[in-house]
Structure 1
């Protein structure tokens, strides 16, 4: 076990998790001191979890899965089994895949399981209709502590069990239910996924659900941004109306995965909650800290939420995560030849996570935007809790962890922060394949040395792992402290191309800060004059509109040259008129025109670099 220091013993004499006596004025504690206090709080949590772990009954499935992932070949075996045996619809394909993964059986498994897998590899290609169903049942048993059965007859007892204070996995926590599923390909599947979430929310024992835009609408097109927003808003609005009409509070969290969905998700979220009949509904959205855009997006949401509060509306919640789709973002960038949308290193992501929390956790910002700190990194959880304590906003922060992961540590954290929100994936056994991507992410997190979860099971007993994670945490705090930019300056996005400005010179001004909140102005997400029904990102990208919608959807405001009015003879009246400009365009493309080809090639697709965004605080008069 990692030994406690004298400082840790002193800290334990104070109130649980409280800042030590003699600290600086609220919110003015030096980052280095805050970081050291966070390290000592983590030591205390680990000591508590070790003591509780000695008395609590062990989950054999969780221990077996952790042991498999500690094996050098464990990740290859686990991913191969989950993806190759559980996913295919063709049983013969699954049988041949079982034969391949049977050659990489982890030594940690007991002999009878190794023998069963070996026999499955032998007979899987021959009688897959017998072998594969058995193998899949074994897999569901191994990951049963990570995913909940969504069938009505089993979901109710599972929810009651997890909410019980004596349950070692649920800790008596509030549950955030997420009906698992990735981006849908067809409208039938999208409708079924939406109906499944609606059925969950309609249950009396469910008060919190998460849903993604990409899981309830197929074929999302960013080229038709405004129409896509309209379509998604139409789909999701009844779900929010159900939450608003419920006699007991119900919460909807709008999740996201891909970078391409960032602006779309924000636009949908603001549009729905700007409706007069939903202005009193509290709801949430997720931001991913591995995107440099995260702080800029949070500042835009805070502006909008403060305006909503000033008009008597409810606050919103922003759940801050680090992001779990890095592999997909790398593939997307490589296929298209684009810059990677995320940060290139784990430390940069950790630093940005703390940058977002540092800006968000202030009384003036949390009045309109409650913050959810999601993750199992104990150092980051301790940092966020102490920061909120110093600034007096502990009532405006939630902590969220995953079902079935490091349960003793989660219980220790709960005793300090008071309450946990437990992210609870649910899936119907008949559609277990939709849980595969989620399970693979969890497996990779538990096996990747770069990820905190790879050390979570031995953090309290292995001094080397503790020192590794502590040093990573301190390095990210030091990097944030060394940042010369003023507090609240948002990092520049990795992808900076802006087709509405490609004709301008590099020295052109690229950004001006929007004005402060006007309580009398209509919410930017509302429809009407200047609203998204008339102007939006599609028009801005194509250079057709210069209005407030450009600032709302892209979160940037440009000063663009005015366009001359159209020529009277520019209308296309018949096919002969249409052919004339077409022939002229072809001649220009072959070199007959000098305007475009004569320009330096370097200016064809250049977007001027945007300075870091400076924040102008806004205050709300809402209660």
Structure 2
């Protein structure tokens, strides 16, 4: 039996060395004002609680009286990380809230946009184009995701699908993400086959547009909770098995905090290999840790169910590396390209070095590194100097619907502040 322990130890040492190099480089890069502000939010004691309370208690309520009352309460403990002009906006809004509650939300939105505006892009025509151009000038590519209300009925589902199609039709957008749960209203768990057929019918025109377009148009089928896993995979494979979509390269997300992640990757590999044998294009799997753990925990607790995902961050990290290790061979990556998504520099360095060791970096388009817009920007720049062009997950939302971005922002802030998170 071969002993791979020496190889593993060498890879570990190389990974650690590369991470140290990236961190040293990141220290020489001046962060943006917005990034500095966000770092203050996450590092100051009480900063995260203030921000979550601000978003949840002032931005979310529709009643201006309630928002004003919450604003006055928060303003008594305005944290020091805010620059003077934002502290002044908080104080002014708080003072005015007693006599003119309607002034509260505009003042609050100004503060919030200053804090998190670099994490989300304005989707209006006047702002989206310049924002995309600005990001692309940094050498980044974009994976554009349209945020919206929770889909509870066909009207919102149709609105989200139409909005995503409008994005994909733009000349400056070639990559979008959409979830199965964004295309149909909640379905009965006893009507699985009917729901799959419905989702395919809804998504098919989007995929047909991408396949018929002369330039590259890439659709990434995103995933949320565990219950969506099998449906997402079945929708994805059935769509791409259609004759008119055989030559379309498309992507799907796989979450490493799911115990089924390896099984799902092996299934996608087997299916893609058969599709490739018929003359089809490769697919891409965007490998992530999983962003919906709080929701999974809440649902399990409410129903008294066992937790459907792995029990700890260490298990998710281990599963992430396990899937990467299995997927990264020349034969497999000719069928399934990998998007290494995440901000843990040890995972990113491990993937980069493993790809070099396995000789898969040279396969065109087979390996891509992905991060979140606006998060750990100096580290992202340091990584890009080694691995090349990064793909940024870029959420967009209309300013009139800014409140729908709340759940995304809370996840980003909690992840960034978590002691388990590399950032």
Name the TM-score class by shorter chain. Answer: over 0.9
TM-score under structure 1 length normalisation: 0.65
Contact (CA 8 Å) 1:308, 1:314: kept in 2 or not?
Answer: yes
More helix by share: 2
Aligned mate of 2:105, from 132, 147, 161: 132
Correspondence list, 1:185-584, <5 A = 185-394=152-361, 395=363, 396-453=366-423
Contact (CA 8 Å) 1:309, 1:315: kept in 2 or not?
Answer: yes
How far apart are the structure 2 equivalents of 1:76 and 1:268?
A: 39
- Aligned with 1:177: secondary structure? strand
Question: Which residue number in structure 2 is paired with residue 32 of structure 1?
Answer: 9
Residue 90 of structure 1 and its aligned partner are, at CA, apart by 2.2
How far apart are the structure 2 equivalents of 1:97 and 1:294?
A: 42
- Aligned with 1:144: secondary structure? helix
Question: Which residue number in structure 2 is paired with residue 612 of structure 1?
Answer: none
Residue 182 of structure 1 and its aligned partner are, at CA, apart by 5.5
Tell me the number of residue pairs that the alignment of Structure 1 and Structure 2 aligns. Answer: 418
How far apart are the structure 1 equivalents of 2:211 and 2:77?
A: 52
- Aligned with 1:426: secondary structure? strand
Residues 140-183 of structure 1 deviation map (CA, whole Å, 9 limit, x = unaligned): 1221111111011211111111111xxxxxx3111110111363
How far apart are the structure 2 equivalents of 1:28 and 1:283?
A: 37
Residue 111 of structure 1 and its aligned partner are, at CA, apart by 4.5
How far apart are the structure 2 equivalents of 1:49 and 1:66?
A: 14
Aligned mate of 1:150, from 116, 120, 123: 123
Residues 414-434 of structure 1 deviation map (CA, whole Å, 9 limit, x = unaligned): 111122111111111011111
Contact (CA 8 Å) 2:89, 2:111: kept in 1 or not?
Answer: no
How far apart are the structure 1 equivalents of 2:328 and 2:99?
A: 60
Residues 538-597 of structure 1 deviation map (CA, whole Å, 9 limit, x = unaligned): xxxxxxxxxxxxxxxxxxxxxxxxxxxxxxxxxxxxxxxxxxxxxxxxxxxxxxxxxxxx
Question: Which residue number in structure 2 is paired with residue 536 of structure 1?
Answer: none
Residue 364 of structure 1 and its aligned partner are, at CA, apart by 1.7
Residue 357 of structure 1 and its aligned partner are, at CA, apart by 0.3
How far apart are the structure 1 equivalents of 2:98 and 2:163?
A: 35
Contact (CA 8 Å) 1:61, 1:142: kept in 2 or not?
Answer: yes
Whichever of the two has the greater Rg, that structure is: 1
How far apart are the structure 2 equivalents of 1:290 and 1:63?
A: 30
Correspondence list, 1:19-98, <5 A = 30-51=7-28, 53=29, 56=30, 58-98=31-71
Contact (CA 8 Å) 1:176, 1:422: kept in 2 or not?
Answer: yes
Residues 435-494 of structure 1 deviation map (CA, whole Å, 9 limit, x = unaligned): 1111000110111111112xxxxxxxxxxxxxxxxxxxxxxxxxxxxxxxxxxxxxxxxx
Residues 196-238 of structure 1 deviation map (CA, whole Å, 9 limit, x = unaligned): 0000000111100000111121122321100000100000000
How far apart are the structure 2 equivalents of 1:304 and 1:377?
A: 30
Identify if the C-alpha distance between structure 1 residues 341 and 129 changes in structure 2 by more than 3 Å, giving closer, same or farther: same
Residue 115 of structure 1 and its aligned partner are, at CA, apart by 4.3
Identify if the C-alpha distance between structure 1 residues 28 and 366 changes in structure 2 by more than 3 Å, giving closer, same or farther: farther
- Aligned with 1:220: secondary structure? coil
- Aligned with 1:155: secondary structure? helix
Query: Please, which runs of 5 or more residues in structure 2 have no aligned partner?
Result: none
Residue 99 of structure 1 and its aligned partner are, at CA, apart by 2.2
Residue 125 of structure 1 and its aligned partner are, at CA, apart by 4.8
- Aligned with 2:119: secondary structure? coil
Query: Please, which runs of 5 or more residues in structure 1 have no aligned partner?
Result: 1-24, 165-170, 454-623
How far apart are the structure 2 equivalents of 1:125 and 1:189?
A: 36
TM-score under structure 2 length normalisation: 0.95
Residue 402 of structure 1 and its aligned partner are, at CA, apart by 0.8
Contact (CA 8 Å) 2:64, 2:104: kept in 1 or not?
Answer: no
Identify if the C-alpha distance between structure 1 residues 363 and 125 changes in structure 2 by more than 3 Å, giving closer, same or farther: farther
Residue 283 of structure 1 and its aligned partner are, at CA, apart by 0.2
RMSD (Å), alpha carbons? 1.7
